[in-house]
Structure 1
Amino acid sequence: MTNETVLWMLLLCLFPSCATDTVPIGTFITECQDRHFWMSIKSSFLGKKFRFDVQDGSGVHTLSGQPAAECGYTVVLDSLGDLVLRASYLACHVENEKDTAFRLLVWLVNTDVDGEETTYPLQLSCPLRHPWKPREIVCEENYMEVSTMKQVPTNIQKGMDWTPTPPVLLEEGLREWRVAFREPRNQQGGMERPPMKEQTLSVEMAQLLGYHIGTTETRVLLRCAYGSRLSYKLQEKGIEVEVVNATILYKHHWMLLKVDTSVACTTSKAYMDGDNILLRFPKILSSLVLPPHKDMGLRLGVERSFLSDCTTRQRGYDLQEQDGAVELRIPFGAEGGFIKSQVVDGQYTQSYFLDLFYMLQWEDFQWSLTEYRSFRPLSVHLPKPPVLVNETSLSESMFSVSLGLFPLDVSLSSVTVGDRPMSWVEAEQMGVHLAHVPFPNGSHAYLLQTPFSHPLVTQQYLGEGYRRYTLVLTFVLSVPPNSDLYQHPATVEADVQDVVLPRVEGGCTAKGVRLLLHNGTMDSQWEVYVGGRRLDWELVELGGYALETRQDYFSMLVPLYALGMAYEGLSLQGLVVTISVTFVDRETAREEHSFNQRCVFPVKELLVCLPDNTALVIVDTSSRTQTPPVEPKLTSLLDPTCVPVETKGARALYTFSLDSCGTVTTLEEDYIIYTNKVQFWPKVPVGLKTLKSPYSQFSVPVGCVHPVNGTRMLTIYQPRTLQTWPYVLASVSHHNHPRAEPHPFIGGRKRNKLPAVG
Structure 2
Amino acid sequence: MVFEFIFGVALLLSAWLPAKSDGIPDGVLHMECRDRYFMMAVGLSFSGEEPHFEAVDETGVYPITEQYAAECGYSVSVLPLQGHVELRASYFSCHTDNKDDKVFTFNFNLMANHFGQEATFTLNKTCSPSLPWSPREVTCEVNYMEVSVRSEVTCPSGTKKDDWDAVKTAHSSTTSDWQVMFQRAKEQSIPTNLSEAHKHGYVFDLTDGRLVFRTPYGQPDSFSTEVNGVPVELVHATLFSRQSWVVLMVDLVAACSMYEGSYDENGYMMWKTPEVLHPLLSGLHNTQVNIGVNGEFLEQPVAEERGYIVEKHNGTVQLSIPYNADGGYRKSCVTEDLYEFHVFNLYLEQILVDEDHVQTRLRLHRTWATPLLPHPVFTHNQTVNEEHMFSVYLGDVPDDVELAAVHLNGHKFTVPFTNTSRHAITKVVHPNSTHGYTLKVPFDDPVVLQQFSKEDAAMQHKLDINYTLTVLPEKEPFYHFASVMAQSDVCKSLTLYLDLVEH
Q: TM-score, normalised by structure 1?
A: 0.57
Structure 1: distance between partners of 2:380 and 2:105: 59
Greater displacement, 431-440 / 80-89: 431-440
The alpha-carbon distance between structure 1 residues 234 and 469, as it changes in their structure 2 partners (threshold 3 A), is farther
Higher relative contact order (Cα pairs below 8 Å, separated by 6+ residues):
2
User: What is the identity, as a one-letter code, of the residue corresponding to 1:270?
Assistant: G
| Matched ranges for 1:684-699 at <5 A | none
Structure 1: distance between partners of 2:74 and 2:90: 7
**Match among 207, 210, 218 for residue 216 of structure 1:** 207
What is the Cα deviation at residue 244 of structure 1? 1.2
2:483 matched to 1:486? Answer: no
Structure 2: distance between partners of 1:371 and 1:105: 27
Equivalenced residues, count: 476
The alpha-carbon distance between structure 1 residues 56 and 252, as it changes in their structure 2 partners (threshold 3 A), is farther
What is the Cα deviation at residue 417 of structure 1? 1.9
Residue 110 of structure 1 aligns with which residue? 112
Residue 378 of structure 2 aligns with which residue? 388
Structure 2: distance between partners of 1:252 and 1:433: 88
Contact persistence 2:394–2:438 (CA under 8 A): yes
What is the Cα deviation at residue 156 of structure 1? 4.4
The alpha-carbon distance between structure 1 residues 95 and 441, as it changes in their structure 2 partners (threshold 3 A), is farther
Map Cα deviations across residues 409-466 of structure 1 (whole Å, 9 max, x no partner): 3222222222111122436532322222233344433332334454434456595567
Residue 317 of structure 1 aligns with which residue? 308
Map Cα deviations across residues 369-413 of structure 1 (whole Å, 9 max, x no partner): 111111112233414333214151436554231232313x32222
User: What is the identity, as a one-letter code, of the residue corresponding to 1:256?
Assistant: V
Mind listing any 5+ residue stretches in structure 1 that lack a counterpart? 9-19, 185-195, 501-518, 526-550, 553-742, 745-756
What is the Cα deviation at residue 367 of structure 1? 6.0
Contact persistence 1:151–1:157 (CA under 8 A): no
Map Cα deviations across residues 702-742 of structure 1 (whole Å, 9 max, x no partner): xxxxxxxxxxxxxxxxxxxxxxxxxxxxxxxxxxxxxxxxx
SS at match of 1:34: coil
What is the Cα deviation at residue 106 of structure 1? 0.7
**Match among 521, 540, 545 for residue 493 of structure 2:** 521
What is the Cα deviation at residue 254 of structure 1? 6.1
Residue 13 of structure 2 aligns with which residue? none
Structure 1: distance between partners of 2:485 and 2:252: 69
Contact persistence 1:438–1:445 (CA under 8 A): yes
What is the Cα deviation at residue 7 of structure 1? 5.7
Contact persistence 1:40–1:84 (CA under 8 A): yes
SS at match of 1:45: helix
The alpha-carbon distance between structure 1 residues 264 and 339, as it changes in their structure 2 partners (threshold 3 A), is same
| Matched ranges for 1:89-168 at <5 A | 89-111=91-113, 117-152=118-153, 156=155
User: What is the identity, as a one-letter code, of the residue corresponding to 2:90?
Assistant: S
What is the Cα deviation at residue 499 of structure 1? 3.8
User: What is the identity, as a one-letter code, of the residue corresponding to 1:521?
Assistant: S
**Match among 435, 447, 450 for residue 444 of structure 1:** 435
User: What is the identity, as a one-letter code, of the residue corresponding to 2:39?
Assistant: W
The alpha-carbon distance between structure 1 residues 206 and 400, as it changes in their structure 2 partners (threshold 3 A), is same
| Matched ranges for 1:259-338 at <5 A | 259-274=250-265, 276-289=267-280, 293-338=284-329
Residue 403 of structure 1 aligns with which residue? 395
Structure 1: distance between partners of 2:92 and 2:74: 10
2:352 matched to 1:351? Answer: no
SS at match of 1:334: coil
SS at match of 2:375: coil
Structure 1: distance between partners of 2:84 and 2:42: 6
Structure 2: distance between partners of 1:43 and 1:289: 42
What is the Cα deviation at residue 253 of structure 1? 8.2
Residue 548 of structure 1 aligns with which residue? none
Larger Rg: 1
Structure 1: distance between partners of 2:244 and 2:129: 30
Structure 1: distance between partners of 2:304 and 2:18: 30
User: What is the identity, as a one-letter code, of the residue corresponding to 1:471?
Assistant: L
Structure 2: distance between partners of 1:421 and 1:4: 41
Contact persistence 1:264–1:285 (CA under 8 A): no
Map Cα deviations across residues 472-497 of structure 1 (whole Å, 9 max, x no partner): 21222222343222222223455x6x
User: What is the identity, as a one-letter code, of the residue corresponding to 2:414?
Assistant: S
User: What is the identity, as a one-letter code, of the residue corresponding to 1:126?
Assistant: C
Contact persistence 2:46–2:114 (CA under 8 A): no
Residue 201 of structure 1 aligns with which residue? 191
Seq. identity, %: 28
Structure 1: distance between partners of 2:125 and 2:402: 39
Contact persistence 2:262–2:271 (CA under 8 A): no
What is the Cα deviation at residue 276 of structure 1? 2.2
CA root-mean-square deviation? 3.4
Structure 2: distance between partners of 1:359 and 1:109: 33
Map Cα deviations across residues 74-130 of structure 1 (whole Å, 9 max, x no partner): 01111233111100000100000000010010110124697x531100111101211
The alpha-carbon distance between structure 1 residues 168 and 240, as it changes in their structure 2 partners (threshold 3 A), is closer
Contact persistence 2:293–2:345 (CA under 8 A): yes
The alpha-carbon distance between structure 1 residues 322 and 24, as it changes in their structure 2 partners (threshold 3 A), is same
Contact persistence 1:477–1:486 (CA under 8 A): yes
The alpha-carbon distance between structure 1 residues 287 and 425, as it changes in their structure 2 partners (threshold 3 A), is closer
What is the Cα deviation at residue 259 of structure 1? 2.2
Structure 2: distance between partners of 1:136 and 1:521: 81
The alpha-carbon distance between structure 1 residues 32 and 113, as it changes in their structure 2 partners (threshold 3 A), is closer
2:93 matched to 1:84? Answer: no
Contact persistence 1:182–1:246 (CA under 8 A): yes
Contact persistence 1:7–1:124 (CA under 8 A): no
User: What is the identity, as a one-letter code, of the residue corresponding to 1:53?
Assistant: E
The alpha-carbon distance between structure 1 residues 276 and 366, as it changes in their structure 2 partners (threshold 3 A), is farther
SS at match of 1:448: strand
The alpha-carbon distance between structure 1 residues 178 and 487, as it changes in their structure 2 partners (threshold 3 A), is same
What is the Cα deviation at residue 275 of structure 1? 5.0
2:52 matched to 1:62? Answer: no
User: What is the identity, as a one-letter code, of the residue corresponding to 2:88?
Assistant: R
Residue 71 of structure 1 aligns with which residue? 72
User: What is the identity, as a one-letter code, of the residue corresponding to 1:225?
Assistant: P
Map Cα deviations across residues 158-203 of structure 1 (whole Å, 9 max, x no partner): 6898979999997x6xxx222222223xxxxxxxxxxx32224322
Structure 1: distance between partners of 2:142 and 2:468: 38
User: What is the identity, as a one-letter code, of the residue corresponding to 1:110?
Assistant: A
Q: TM-score, normalised by structure 2?
A: 0.84
| Matched ranges for 1:481-560 at <5 A | 481-493=473-485, 498-500=488-490, 521=493
Contact persistence 1:415–1:475 (CA under 8 A): yes
Structure 2: distance between partners of 1:95 and 1:237: 40
Contact persistence 1:466–1:499 (CA under 8 A): yes
Structure 2: distance between partners of 1:27 and 1:147: 33
Contact persistence 2:146–2:215 (CA under 8 A): yes
What is the Cα deviation at residue 277 of structure 1? 4.1
The alpha-carbon distance between structure 1 residues 137 and 66, as it changes in their structure 2 partners (threshold 3 A), is same
What is the Cα deviation at residue 4 of structure 1? 13
SS at match of 1:206: helix
The alpha-carbon distance between structure 1 residues 358 and 49, as it changes in their structure 2 partners (threshold 3 A), is closer
Contact persistence 2:394–2:436 (CA under 8 A): yes
Contact persistence 1:210–1:229 (CA under 8 A): no
